[in-house]
Amino acid sequence: MVERKLEIKKMATAGSLESNDILIMISKGEGKIDIELESVVEKQFGEDIKKVIHDTLVEEGITDAKVIAKDKGALDFTIRARVRACVKRGVEN
Amino acid sequence: MNYRTLLFIPGNNPGMLQSSDILGADGIIIDLEDAVALTEKDAARILVREYLLTFKPEGNYFIRINPLDSPYFYDDLEAIKDLDITGLVLPKASVESMAALEDYLDKNDLDFEVIALIENAMGLETALDIVRASKRIVGLFLGAEDLTLDLGAKRTKESKEIEYARSKIIAAAKAAGIQALDTPFTDTDDLEGLKIDTRNAKDLGMTGKTVISPRHVDIINQVFTPTQKEIDYALRVVEGVKGAKEKGLGAFSLEGKMIDAPIIKRALNVLKTSGDYKEEYDELLE
């Protein structure tokens, strides 16, 4: 299986600041995945949320990106969905 | 399955999606159409996929896709074709859009149920043709807000302006042996008005109602649930029919009233709605 590799071409956002959602902003990185997180549950779940974001980016073929995430209590399925939507928007010309 | 309530859940709202299976509705309609902004169609499709693949919720999940005349119809279908859902709601249903949907479902070998949303004058007047254009259709659903807009009618709580539309949908649905699903009641706070509106729809022949507020679910379920008295009577009719058949009688009387085919049909409908229907009853009308 050929590993898919994609490149973020432009800044993109997905999600919202509504309760149970997360706002993801993605832009070109500096050679690695860099995640900046602000969350209502940062103390308890900050590292877990970052891992979900990181793993979803890798699944989508992204290894170089700067991510800013503002979380309002999103569950994993929402985090994954918003990251995927953001990548889709960021790789399009 | 007879759906007393089909509750709309906006497709791009994670909070509502994740609680959708505990709200008491007989079915859920995840909405990719009107409840999702044009700029968020892509994000909503992805969110709905993640939700359904992650939680695999039990129950009857429909997805309202965007209409054929939008740029999103086929994108929606592609995004959801591999999901384990009960079916699809086709908005702005027409003979043409139903044929396009059937064609897509045939080509992809999908056995989704289909509910046709009738919400313009042409759809209403060709409702039976729309039904005939689908092998998968299980219900006709009246969308009164858009319909009255198309008709140039004033939308009121009394709903006199949709009596014809309700009756037309009911007649087409009954002719085809599928469900007639009523338009949602849009005032989320007027629970007394909801009760009256739901009873009116049921008395005309609607078999269920679509819902836009979780607060409405219990009331509508109650209205569409037969009373114990109705269920008991229906069971007595069924027993009477069985007895008459054994004796080779065509017609018989029960509690002083002649029982004929329409009464038997009505009794069977009551039992279908209450969940007391048994497969063996299929032959009672033969």
pLDDT tens-place string over residues B7-62: 999 999 999 999 999 999 999 999 999 999 999 999 999 999 999 999 999 999 99
Examine the pLDDT at B164 and tell me if it is beyond 80.
Answer: yes
Q: Mark whether B236 and B174 lie in a shared domain.
A: no
For an interface test with A, the pick among B19, B30, B45, B50 (most A C-beta atoms closer than 10 Å) comes out as B50
Examine the pLDDT at A1 and tell me if it is beyond 70.
Answer: no
Total tally of structural domains belonging to chain A: 1
Total tally of structural domains belonging to chain B: 2
Instruction: Please give the radius of gyration of chain A, using alpha carbons only, rounded to the nearest integer.
Output: 12
Computed over every residue of chain B, the mean pLDDT equals 95
**Burial status of residue B285 (CB atoms within 10 A of its CB: 0-12, 13-18, 19 or more):** exposed
Is residue A3 situated within a structural domain? no
Q: Mark whether B161 and B258 lie in a shared domain.
A: no
- Helix, coil or strand: residue B138: strand
Q: Mark whether B156 and B236 lie in a shared domain.
A: no
Chain A residue at shortest CA distance from B54:
A77
Is residue A69 situated within a structural domain? yes
Q: Mark whether B240 and B188 lie in a shared domain.
A: no
Q: Mark whether B110 and B250 lie in a shared domain.
A: no
Q: Mark whether B156 and B238 lie in a shared domain.
A: no
Q: Does A78 touch chain B (CB under 8 A)?
A: yes
Beta strands in chain B (DSSP E): 5-10, 27-31, 60-64, 87-90, 113-118, 137-142, 179-182, 208-211, 252-254, 257-259
Is residue A66 situated within a structural domain? yes
Cβ pair B14:A84 closer than 8 A: no
What is the average pLDDT across B247-259? 84
**What is residue A2's predicted lDDT score, i.e. its pLDDT?**
54
Chain A residue at shortest CA distance from B55:
A77
Q: Mark whether B48 and B133 lie in a shared domain.
A: yes
Tally of CB atoms within 10 A around B199: 12
Is residue A17 situated within a structural domain? yes
DSSP assigned state of B215: G
> Quick one: pLDDT band at residue B283, thresholds 50, 70, 90?
confident
* Domain span holding position B265: 228-285
Is residue A73 situated within a structural domain? yes
Percent of chain A at pLDDT > 70 equals: 97
Q: Does A77 touch chain B (CB under 8 A)?
A: yes
> Quick one: pLDDT band at residue A67, thresholds 50, 70, 90?
very high
**What is residue B84's predicted lDDT score, i.e. its pLDDT?**
96
Q: Mark whether B139 and B74 lie in a shared domain.
A: yes
Examine the pLDDT at B245 and tell me if it is beyond 90.
Answer: no
Count A/B contacts: CB-CB distance under 8 Å: 46
Is residue A5 situated within a structural domain? no
**What is residue B195's predicted lDDT score, i.e. its pLDDT?**
97
**What is residue B253's predicted lDDT score, i.e. its pLDDT?**
86
Q: Mark whether B169 and B274 lie in a shared domain.
A: no
The interface pTM score, or ipTM, of the predicted complex is: 0.95
Computed over every residue of chain A, the mean pLDDT equals 95
Q: Mark whether B71 and B124 lie in a shared domain.
A: yes
Helices B73-80 and B95-107 sit at what angle, rounded to 10 degrees?
Answer: 30
Residue B133, C-beta contacts closer than 8 angstroms, at least 6 positions apart: B95, B98, B99, B102
B73 vs chain A: nearest CA distance in angstroms? 19
Chain B residue at shortest CA distance from A80:
B50
**What is residue A3's predicted lDDT score, i.e. its pLDDT?**
67
Is residue A76 situated within a structural domain? yes
What is the average pLDDT across B121-139? 98
Q: Mark whether B148 and B264 lie in a shared domain.
A: no
Is residue A81 situated within a structural domain? yes
Examine the pLDDT at B204 and tell me if it is beyond 80.
Answer: yes
What is the average pLDDT across B148-177? 96
* Domain span holding position A66: 12-91
Q: Mark whether B77 and B45 lie in a shared domain.
A: yes
Residue A35's CATH number: 3.30.230.10
What is the average pLDDT across A16-34? 96
A76 vs chain B: nearest CA distance in angstroms? 9
